[in-house]
Every structure is written in structure tokens, then in C-alpha cells.
Amino acid sequence: MAGSDVITRAAPDTVKILIAGGFGVGKTTMVGSVSEIAPLRTEEPLTAAGLGVDDLDGIEEKKATTVALDFGRISIGSDLVLYLFGTPGQQRFWFMWNDLALGALGAVVLIDVRRPETSFAAIDFFERRNIPFVVGVNGFYGDHPYPPDEIREALALPDHVQVLLCDARERESSRDVLIALIDQLIATAVHTGGPRPAEK
């Protein structure tokens, strides 16, 4: 085929996004629900070794936990691909967060309103590193007992941080949270001259 007949298509832009939050808030579930590929998971069964270390209050039914990361991918249109990295939730694995955050343009911080204190560390992590984030309020069993404004006040979040009600089990709900984050990143880039990937 002659060179003039070859149609060249630009490769889609890729963006690294973290899905973060406390232990048992639904990070693995969100990555799995929205990923267009079979997600990579590093889950291991909870064992007696974690007794007294992992706080299972309110999530007694949890049987496995992420020990390294979750990885998934979702295309937003034809020109944007999001690479999703779910962080481990237990405090003993937080040392991995710095490495996972390298190159990330933004994050979703998932919270469980039954245990909001489990996500304070994630919010602090992204605020200290100036990594833009949105808060996804995961409604377990489809239940959302508190409106976003009350949750914002309880978490002492600034006005520019979006608080979004979601269900991590549902693909469309998880996708809407990611799109809200992308819209925020684009708006920020327009005003500042472009997003900056996270550095150590």
C-alpha cells in the first residue's frame, strides 16, 4: 500500500489514577467493576496472623485483602485510557503508597461512611503531595444515609474536592466517579498550564 494511503492514528493518551482508601472500603471492587480487562489482583486470604492487627470492626464478613495492588484499565472515549492502581488498605502496607503514586495524575479516595476514620490517612496523603482527588462515598448494600455536604463537613474537605455518592459494585457508578476526576484534572490543567504527575 502506498504511503499516502496509510491512515495513521495517534495513540490514545494514558493517565495513571490511584484508587485509595482505608481497609475494606471497596477499592478492589471498584477496579474490578469498571476495568475492561481482567483486573490484576494481589489478594490473599485473611488469616489468624492478622488478628489484633487488622481492624475488622464493621467488615467482619471480609475474607481476603490486597497485599500489593490492584490493576485495571478503562478507555474513556477513543483517545483516553485510564490505568487504575488500587492501593492496599492496611497500615502495614502503606509503605507501598509512595511508589504507587509515582506518575499518578489524580486519585479516587473511597470512603465507607460506617467507618469514615479509615480514610483520613488517604486524604492526608494526597493533600500533602498536592495530588488532585475526588471522594467516592461507597454505599454498601446500596445505602447512602448521609448527603455529600454532611460528609464533606465531617471529613473537613475543602470546597474544591468533589464528594460523589457511588456504588463500587456498579460499572456505571464507578465510571462516573472516574469521569468526574478527569473533568477536574482537565479544568485544573486549563487554569495552570497542565497537570503534573506525582513525584516522590
| 68 vs 197: CA distance, rounded Å | 21
Task: State the sign of the Cα–Cα–Cα–Cα dihedral 171, 173, 96, 75.
Answer: positive
Measured between alpha carbons, how far is 73 from 39 in angstroms, rounded to an integer? 8
Q: What is the mean pLDDT of residues 100-105?
A: 94
What gap in Å lies between CA 35 and CA 175, rounded to an integer?
A: 9
Q: In what order do the strands lie in the sheet with 133-138?
A: 40-45, 64-75, 80-86, 13-21, 106-111, 133-138, 163-166
Q: Per-residue confidence at 7, pLDDT binned at 50, 70, 90?
A: low
* Cβ atoms < 10 Å from Cβ of 141: 6
- The pLDDT of residue 59: 45
pLDDT computed for residue 168 by the predictor: 94
pTM equals 0.80
Looking at the chain, which runs of residues are DSSP E strands?
13-21, 40-45, 64-75, 80-86, 106-111, 133-138, 163-166
Question: To the nearest whole number, what is the mean pLDDT of the chain?
Answer: 82
pLDDT (0 to 100) of residue 123: 95
| Region 39-53 average pLDDT | 55
User: Side-chain half-sphere of 130: how many Cα atoms within 13 Å?
Assistant: 7
Q: What are the residues whose beta carbons fall under 8 Å from the beta carbon of 174, sequence distance 6 or more?
A: 30, 33, 34, 136, 166, 167, 168
**pLDDT confidence tier of residue 196, bands split at 50, 70 and 90:** low
Given a contact cutoff of 8 angstroms between Cβ atoms, the answer to whether 197 and 103 are in contact is: yes
- When pLDDT is cut at 50, 70 and 90, the band that residue 44 belongs to is low
Record the cell numbers describing residue 127, joined without a space. 493533600
Q: What is the pLDDT of residues 57-94, one digit of tens each?
A: 544 454 455 545 889 999 988 889 999 999 886 666 67
The confidence score (pLDDT) of residue 143 equals: 83
Instruction: Please write the tens of the pLDDT for every residue from 119-149.
Output: 899 999 999 999 999 999 998 777 898 999 9
Q: Is 146 left (phi over 0), alpha (psi -120 to 50) or beta?
A: beta
The answer on pLDDT for 154 being more than 60 is yes
